[in-house]
Amino acid sequence: MLYAILCYHDEDTVGSWTREQDAAVIQKLSVVQDKLARQGRLGPVARLLPTTAATTLRKDNPPVVIDGPFAETKEQLLGFYIVDCNNLDEALAVAGDLGAANPGGAYEIRPVGLLNPGSLRT
Amino acid sequence: MTDAAWIDAALTSARPQAVGALLRYFRNLDTAEEAFQNACLRALKSWPQNGPPRDPAAWLIMVGRNAAIDEVRRNRKQEPLPEDELISDLGDAEDALAERLDGSHYRDDILRLLFICCHPGLPATQQIALALRIVSGLTVKQIARAFLVSEAAMEQRITRAKARVADASVPFETPGAVERTERLAAVAAMIYLIFNEGYSASGDTADIRAPLCEEAIRLARLLLRLFQGEPEIMGLTALLLLQHARAAARFDAGGAVILLDDQDRSRWNQKMIAEGLALIDKAMRHRRSGPYQVQAAIAALHARAERPEDTDWTQIELLYGALEIMQPSPVVTLNRAVAVSKVRGAGAALDMIEPLAPRLSNYFHFFGVRGAFLMQLGRNDEAREAFDRAIALANTSAEAAHIRMHLDRLMRDSRPCGSGISKK
């Protein structure tokens, strides 16, 4: 069984870490990640850019683009995609196509700052 | 992370919201700051034992307000303070308060706090010092260090600025849309000033002043989180990130300026560049251009170029042209001329800047740029003259040293050479 582990934290707090504090956390995490990777058990790991860089597409008819992260609490996170796009417009177009195939709810589009593809063989 | 480091980070990030709300309660900056200080002291005692509260800002506002009210009561009746245990369990009260603190209120609290620092009667340096003290919570010592002045002088500057601000009446009612937009523009300009104060440092002080750039970025991000749909705030944040991304490459080991063309691009901070590019990309979708967005777009074109020769100077020239229309200024024209020199040659660029001479006769960069154009055209005597003027007008030793390097080059060979001056 594959498990997704979703990371939550207070962005203000994480954002006010110094470079050294940030690097120290990343260093400690990489020890854990490296072990999993060597065992072939690590899937993609992504560090997202701050929510200030986020855009939300509400899959209404017609779809509505809103600046900022997904903020509703009545919907739950059900999955995610990682797609390679040249810019936000392209990413929104992809989200729009997905939304047309599966209406209702919303997509939050957030640039990925760092991606480790991991070592899973699928 | 240790308890102390975690608490420190939480207090720092909660500060603008907490002080902003306390200011709304007490309508007095000193009382609000004191209340916040008190709340922090109690947090340092309570949080390691009871664990961190769910909403640190709400906790601090609540405790700060109670502490200040206690103080007023104590002064009035000389009654003893309630025991700390009585306020240590805030569970229910905290929830209730957190609910009342939803978006709308604290957004204007923080904006008001920032706006108070932008009082038009305050000189720029006092606005910056005040914002760093009140909003960011830097100590007087830290601010004095960044400004390269003594602690006593900075203390005095901040005290004077506070007195000035206290006299001015900033309304505490929720601002209307027009007023909010005006406040936002003033605050954005002040954040840019803070950044420039750090960015314009010379090589020998760049490390000391870098925290000013970092603080400006933190404030810009804060503002953007509060006003998520404002393309100019996206532009401002992108601009600061894209410029600061080059920090490690801007000076050599001896502290001399390294021009954009000569910088080691592998030392640019790719994480900041990625965030800056994402933000400008997001801003452009609004089709509501503004000076910060245009400047960020120019910085983005530099950031996107893997090598200097990959730079899209044609696009940069167009963007400077747009900026000239939005904010006509001889300095913007001078910058456009640098782009023109790359696209159409130094001759065309020189023709463009000659009419600026009367207005820029005391501007270091004018003579530096003029000298570089003349040098490219092989007019070495005139170039030398321009560089001499530039040295006389240099603001920092690094600027002077940089021009001297050009002069040395002129001395060595009198042939035209293709070095350009561009934005740092």
pLDDT in 10s for each residue of chain B, 424 residues: 567 778 888 898 889 999 999 998 888 888 999 999 999 999 999 999 888 888 889 999 999 999 888 877 777 665 555 555 444 444 445 545 544 554 557 788 888 899 988 888 888 888 999 999 999 898 999 899 888 889 999 999 999 998 888 877 777 777 888 888 888 999 999 999 999 988 887 777 888 888 889 999 999 999 999 999 999 999 999 999 999 999 999 998 888 888 899 999 999 999 899 999 999 999 999 999 999 999 999 999 999 999 999 999 999 999 999 999 999 999 999 999 999 999 999 999 999 999 999 999 999 999 999 999 999 999 999 999 999 999 999 887 878 888 898 888 888 755 544 444 444 4
Could you write out the three-class secondary structure of chain A? CCCCCCCCCCHHHHHCCCHHHHHHHHHHHHHHHHHHHHCCCCCCEEEECCHHHCEEEECCCCCEEEECCCCCCCCCCCCCCCCCCCCHHHHHHHHHHHHHHCCCCEEEECCEEEEECCCCCC
Q: Does a structural domain hold residue B333?
A: no
Q: Does a structural domain hold residue B319?
A: no
- The answer to whether the beta carbons of residues B14 and B56 sit under 8 Å apart is yes
Contacts of A67 in chain B (CB under 8 A): 228-229, 234, 282
Number of domains in chain A: 1
Look up the domain containing A64 and give its range: 11-116
Look up the domain containing B376 and give its range: 344-424
Report pLDDT for B169. 72
Q: Does a structural domain hold residue B338?
A: no
Q: Does a structural domain hold residue A5?
A: no
Contacts of A21 in chain B (CB under 8 A): 1, 5, 9
Q: Does a structural domain hold residue A26?
A: yes
Q: Does a structural domain hold residue A122?
A: no
Q: Does a structural domain hold residue A85?
A: yes
Compare CB distances from B278 to A12, A53, A89 and report the shortest one's residue.
A53
Q: Does a structural domain hold residue B21?
A: yes
Q: Which residues of B touch A (CB under 8 A)?
A: 1, 5-6, 9-10, 12-14, 218, 221, 224-225, 228-229, 234, 237, 271, 274-275, 278-279, 281-282, 285
Q: Does a structural domain hold residue B181?
A: yes
Residue B228 to residue A67, Cβ atoms within 8 A: yes
Residue B278 to residue A114, Cβ atoms within 8 A: no
Give the chain B residue nearest A9 (alpha carbons).
B54
How far is Cα B223 from Cα B16, in angstroms, rounded to an integer?
Answer: 11
Contacts of B234 in chain A (CB under 8 A): 52, 67
Q: Does a structural domain hold residue A78?
A: yes
Q: Does a structural domain hold residue B325?
A: no
Q: Does a structural domain hold residue B320?
A: no
Other C-beta atoms closer than 10 Å to the C-beta of B201 total: 23
What Rg, from alpha-carbon coordinates, does chain A have? 16
Compare CB distances from A50 to B12, B221, B285 and report the shortest one's residue.
B221
Same domain, B149 and B195: yes
* pTM of the model as a whole: 0.86
Same domain, B62 and B81: yes
**Residue A6 φ then ψ, to 5°:** -100, 135
Choosing from B311, B328, B356, the residue where a domain stops is: B311
Report pLDDT for A99. 94
Contacts of B228 in chain A (CB under 8 A): 52, 67-68
Q: Which amino acid is at B238?
A: A
Same domain, B83 and B144: no
Q: Does a structural domain hold residue A25?
A: yes
Give me the total of CB pairs closer than 8 Å, taking one residue from chain A and one from chain B: 60
Q: Which amino acid is at B338?
A: V
Compare CB distances from A68 to B13, B228, B281 and report the shortest one's residue.
B228
Same domain, B215 and B245: no
Compare CB distances from B9 to A13, A55, A111 and report the shortest one's residue.
A13
CATH number of the domain bearing residue A51? 3.30.70
Which residues on neighbouring strands pair with residue A109, listed in sequence order? A55
Number of domains in chain B: 4
Contacts of B241 in chain A (CB under 8 A): none
Give the chain A residue nearest B230 (alpha carbons).
A67
Of the candidates B202, B260, B243, B206, the residue with the CA atom closest to the CA atom of residue B400:
B202
Same domain, B64 and B152: no
Residue A13 to residue B10, Cβ atoms within 8 A: yes
